[in-house]
Structure 1
Amino acid sequence: MQHRQLISSGSPWEDVVGYSRAVRVGNVVEVAGTTAMDGDKLVGLGSVYLQTKYIFQKIEKALTEAGASLKDVVRTRMFITDISKWEEAGKAHGEVFAAIKPASTMVEVSALIDERLLIEIEVTAVIPTV
């Protein structure tokens, strides 16, 4: 059986709900749905672009802790509450992944856990084996 590495953000919700910020098994890292919350503070209130940029910073931190990087991302999934704002999310995504070009999905959802959250993102990374 392969080792299972759990990466925590330190959020008290991880224990209450029973999840990890990210999980690495072998050379695969799955990063859970990530929002623009920084503790109790929301980063980028009212801006899909700013929320998306901050989310990718949080995701990068989790990937690094798992021994991966943004260059290892093969899949992104973006859940946006207003699809008419897709270009803002797309711009931020492009700034991070223009050269990496992971498979990507963006879908509109009716709501996230807090009405101020405009987007939630999860990623899958595969670390190259040597």
Structure 2
Amino acid sequence: MSGAERVESWGVPWEEGHGYVQAVRRGDTIYLSGQVSHDGETLVAPAPLDDSGRVTDTANTGEQLRQVYANAAELLGRFGASLDDVVEEVIYAVDLDQIHASGGPVRKAAYGRPDPRVASTVIGASRLAFPELLVEVRFVARV
């Protein structure tokens, strides 16, 4: 495992296709690959696309973000950790205005407090791994 103490995956096709795992624990640190809005089989709340494959509406950003945090919580739980152990997150969003409008309430609910104790960076992206994705979040947790 190249020094990794433990790894976890979802078993979704894109892991094998791209060649990666979803989470790696090394020492007291857990690194989560960018989490997207899926239920283990399909994308959750996919953005509508036009005929050329471009997003036509970003209103599902908040719903996708909720699923991202649920997925991150499940992965962390496999290591005996939780979102309370997250120290850093990087949010990649297709629509920065939409992530600023919906992200705060979703993040606060996910972390269970009005002032999440996590370093957070938001980065605009023209497109994510799948055209229907509006948001992806990478996490680092310490246990």
Looking at structure 2, the residues matched to 54 and 19 of structure 1 have their Cα atoms a distance apart, in angstroms, of: 20
TM-score (norm 1): 0.88
CA contact (8 A) 1:63 1:69 kept: yes
TM-score (norm 2): 0.81
Q: Which residue of 1 aligns with 2:106?
A: 92
Q: Which residue of 2 aligns with 1:110?
A: 126
The correspondence of residues 54-69 of structure 1 with structure 2, limited to 5 A, is 54-69=67-82
Deviation at 1:43, TM superposition (A): 1.2
Point out the structure with the larger strand share.
1
Deviation at 1:42, TM superposition (A): 2.0
Looking at structure 1, the residues matched to 33 and 116 of structure 2 have their Cα atoms a distance apart, in angstroms, of: 20
Looking at structure 1, the residues matched to 142 and 9 of structure 2 have their Cα atoms a distance apart, in angstroms, of: 19
Looking at structure 2, the residues matched to 3 and 112 of structure 1 have their Cα atoms a distance apart, in angstroms, of: 27
CA contact (8 A) 2:36 2:135 kept: yes
The gaps in structure 2 that reach 5 residues or longer are 48-59
How many residues were matched structurally? Answer: 127
Aligned-CA RMSD value: 1.8
The gaps in structure 1 that reach 5 residues or longer are none
Deviation at 1:18, TM superposition (A): 1.7
Looking at structure 1, the residues matched to 41 and 80 of structure 2 have their Cα atoms a distance apart, in angstroms, of: 27
CA contact (8 A) 2:92 2:137 kept: yes
| CA displacement, residues 52-81 of structure 1 (integer Å, 9 cap, x when unaligned) | 001100000100112211110000110000
Looking at structure 1, the residues matched to 22 and 31 of structure 2 have their Cα atoms a distance apart, in angstroms, of: 9
Alignment partner of 1:83 is 2:99: no
Distance 1:106 1:36, change over 3 A: same
